[in-house]
Amino acid sequence: MAVTAYAVLSGMTFPLIFEVYKPRERLQPGDKYLTKPEIAGIMIRKLRAMGFRFNLVLADSLYGESSKNFLSVLNELNLNFIVAIRSNHRAWGITDSKVKYSDWQRFKRVFSDLSSENRYIREIICGKKSDIRYWQITTDKEELPKNTTWYVMSKYPEITPREVGNFYGLRTWVEYGLKQSKNE
């Protein structure tokens, strides 16, 4: 298994670096166990030291819900991010009276081949406004199908709902690239 970092530049996705992840039961004497989010945090630091600059970091829910290591590195380095979170993420644990939903907004999800599809997005407001914002994105705002409804968390000043939806959609290409790399 591996933790990988990909870049998207001018519509192209390409691998930057990877680190091997070893489950605890596969460690050799002298190996130090690191979680995937810990490895990802180290990789972000390494890429910064190599001179890479980031406009935005995207990650799936394993990393999006790892505040003590991966997200803390992003915050320490003051990096913008959009990360997936599960529908039962801990932010939803506040009292229901403090959770508000903005109205659904339709946006065009533009794909790399320039085709598009209607999607819907709304902000989930948990208590007071902060730098961290929560979003729900779906293909069907009435049915909210599980396989095409996503929850994301962002830290990106002044981002628009449409940008959240389209930027988050770039993750698909990273996953596609990862699959190709693993097969190779």
What letter represents residue 98's amino acid? Answer: K
Both tokens assigned to 55: 């406009």
* Range 78-114 burial, b when 16+ CB lie within 10 A, else e: ebbbbbbbeeebebeeeeeeeeeeeeeeebebeeeee
pLDDT value of residue 180: 60
**Within 10 Å of residue 26's Cβ, how many Cβ atoms?**
11
Count of domains forming the chain: 1
Model confidence at 181: pLDDT above 70: no
Both tokens assigned to 50: 């190599």
Cα 14 versus chain centre, distance: 17
Which H helix or E strand runs over 111?
Answer: none
pTM, two decimal places: 0.86
Distance, in Å, from the CA atom of 31 to the CA atom of 158, rounded to the nearest integer, reads 43
Q: What pLDDT digit, counting tens, does each position of 73-124 carry?
A: 999 999 999 999 988 876 655 555 578 899 999 999 987 778 889 999 999 9
What average pLDDT score do residues 44-67 get? 90
Q: Which residue has the higher pLDDT, 139 or 15?
A: 139
Distance, in Å, from the CA atom of 158 to the CA atom of 13, rounded to the nearest integer, reads 25
The residue range of the domain holding 179 is 2-183
